[in-house]
Structure 1
């Protein structure tokens, strides 16, 4: 997967450090996942070099905004690389409501609000995963921040947790052995994806 065109080639060639804020309305329903994706230094350098070579007199801020538009449009064709579940049932997504693209310490950061098609009651049955099915890009919760996953406007007895992926060693070995020119099986990224969950204690 690339940010402008999809790809199914190879195991991870880059990574994204990401954060998630679960947005809760006044009726204690989950309405959206606000996400911030920070591209790894090499991806960021490649993107910035491409923006610097764009012809015309547009500013870097305008070029970053255009890049964000391309990323958002591409994600719309790939289920936003986001999968939200209520128990075993996958929930429909609405779409990207808002986004910004900026440089942070020479890394490209794409932040956006991804809505659910229908608000869902805040409960322990809700979970989500963010991953590239081809495992071309690896998604990692940003361990440089204290709380890479948060709830916004939720009651005090609720909080979010990360359940780290624990893929079978045989799968890890199989993926590690994939040659750069070979295709990784589509869907393999799910096996390496951490899961965000909600935990609510009885009041």
Structure 2
């Protein structure tokens, strides 16, 4: 990964770093929170609707031409960015006692709707999280290559009396984090005594989140 930052650091010497911090792919997110019989948050269903331009690019890369039929959807499943834990979408669930552990997501469907590719996946929480909350749910790209638009409303299944609200983040924080990451990479190139890789989690800074709380 570091070689990418070497190039970015050189560019940064000529251009303002913040100008490089912008997404190239746009995804609208839908979420369904699934509670178990004990009232615990046990799973989350996640839907991504890719922007029309990137959807078209994925069709081209998969060799799909003309009308998209159900048999061609299999060619698109492997292009979903979700499966890379470092570069792509990351779902996090944060109760008060620390981040929850999520199992590898299970693919539910890949569909072509209108002019957009829509993918669905299910995340299981292991163990489930106490549902009284508050719990914060985020979907973001650590590298900020993808911009995820979090939903203003979510679907809640299995428990009554829950409230979910959108907590808007600050995009400016992502610009600052991008610049700081580039500076760290450049410093590492000048002094190789540091670690072999620079951790990237730009998208987490200032990302939107969903705040969920349920009555006892």
Tell me the TM-score range normalised by the shorter chain: 0.7 to 0.9
Instruction: Verify the 8 A CA contact 1:160 1:198 in the aligned structure 2.
Output: yes
More helix by share: 2
Per-residue deviation, 1:165 = 0.6
Question: Alpha-carbon deviations, 1:109-154, whole Å to 9, x = none?
Answer: 01111111211121223212110011000000246xxx3x121111
Q: Distance in 2 between matches of 1:30 and 1:48?
A: 35
Which residue does 2:45 correspond to in 1? 34
More strand by share: 1
Q: 1:163 aligns with which of 157, 161, 167?
A: 167
Per-residue deviation, 1:50 = 2.4
Q: 2:128 aligns with which of 115, 119, 122?
A: 119
Query: Over the residues paired in the alignment, what is the CA RMSD in angstroms?
Result: 3.4
Q: Distance in 2 between matches of 1:201 and 1:119?
A: 17
Instruction: Verify the 8 A CA contact 2:64 2:72 in the aligned structure 1.
Output: no
- Which ranges of 4 or more aligned residues in structure 1 deviate by more than 4 Å? 7-10, 76-80, 169-176
- Equivalent residues in 2 for 1:98-117, closer than 5 Å: 98-117=107-126
Q: State the TM-score, normalizing by the size of structure 2.
A: 0.70
Q: 2:105 aligns with which of 88, 96, 104?
A: 96
Which residue does 1:195 correspond to in 2? 209
Q: Does 1:21 align with 2:25?
A: no
Q: How many aligned positions are there?
A: 183
Q: State the TM-score, normalizing by the size of structure 1.
A: 0.74
- Bigger Cα Rg: 2
Q: Distance in 2 between matches of 1:45 and 1:196?
A: 29
